[in-house]
Structure 1
Amino acid sequence: MLHRIRVPQIGPGRPRKKPDSLAADKAYSNGPCRTYLRRRAIRHTIPENPDSQAARLRKGSQAGRPPGFDEEQYKKRNTGEQAINWLSTPGL
């Protein structure tokens, strides 16, 4: 799904294929998604899945650093998602 992203262009020109940043829920907190976003230099705010966190802690120092997480940015994701759900509700 991530490779289908198109960011609308203001004015003439093709749509961009790379957003400035991405906020997603825990379902996208896996290695392949995070690697894809890093490779394309897309900043992302994705909470770490508890299973992934436990596995990382079990591995100790060999597991690497925990992924960064910006709570304020994540709160904005929730607000945007609720607005889209409200606008797409039939009968409004």
Structure 2
Amino acid sequence: MHLAVDGRGLPMSVILTPGQAGDNPQLLPLLDQVAVGRDGPGGPGNVRGGCWPTRPNSHPSTRTALRHRKIAFTSPERSDQIARRAAKGSRGGRPPAFDTGLYADRNVVERCFNRLKQFRALATRYAKRAAYYRTEIIIAAIVLWLRTGLQDTA
């Protein structure tokens, strides 16, 4: 399960893939599914702000794609990428910016996974078909959004 969450830890987009599928190829399609409302005229836009994926997603092509979308990317560099850049010498360029304080906010995603696992059908995966399981995830996400909405008004 690949999940995009907002700053409050509420799910905004989900993609299901087989267990052996990598995380990096799913990042951009996951972000394409997110539409964020904007203040003022115009319809919803794409993700603006930041993206805090895991270390495997820190591929240079991913960084470039997010830079073109004007999305701030905060993830540590993998050791092989550091070595490749060092081997190039001065042509390797500067290391990408990494803010440990911002990266610490990544726990919001983990907390969202934990909140979704509180739903028994999701934690034990009663649904065997991917379409049914994704439907259960969406229903659980709606419940989480409604709970937050009720807490905000109280």
TM bracket, shorter-chain basis: 0.7 to 0.9
Note closer, same or farther for the CA distance 1:10–1:42 as it changes in structure 2 (3 Å cut): closer
Q: Distance in 1 between matches of 2:110 and 2:34?
A: 21
Matching residue of 1:57: 86
Deviation at 1:11, TM superposition (A): 8.1
Matching residue of 1:88: 116
Aligned residue runs from structure 1 range 58-73, under 5 A: 58-73=87-102
Matching residue's letter, 1:21: G
Matching residue's letter, 1:2: L
Deviation at 1:31, TM superposition (A): 1.6
Matching residue of 1:24: 53
Q: Distance in 1 between matches of 2:90 and 2:81?
A: 15
Q: How many residues align?
A: 91
Question: Deviation string for 1:12-39 (max 9, x for gaps)?
Answer: 9643212211111111111210111111
Contact 2:74–2:102 (CA under 8 A) maintained in structure 1: yes
Q: Distance in 1 between matches of 2:33 and 2:64?
A: 16
Q: Distance in 1 between matches of 2:116 and 2:81?
A: 33
The two structures have a TM-score, normalised by structure 2, of: 0.52
Matching residue of 1:2: 28
Q: Distance in 2 between matches of 1:67 and 1:10?
A: 29
Matching residue of 1:45: 74
Identity, % of aligned positions: 30
Q: Which runs of 5+ in 1 are unaligned?
A: none
Deviation at 1:57, TM superposition (A): 0.9
Q: Which runs of 5+ in 2 are unaligned?
A: 1-26, 121-154
2:111 aligns to what SS in structure 1? Answer: helix
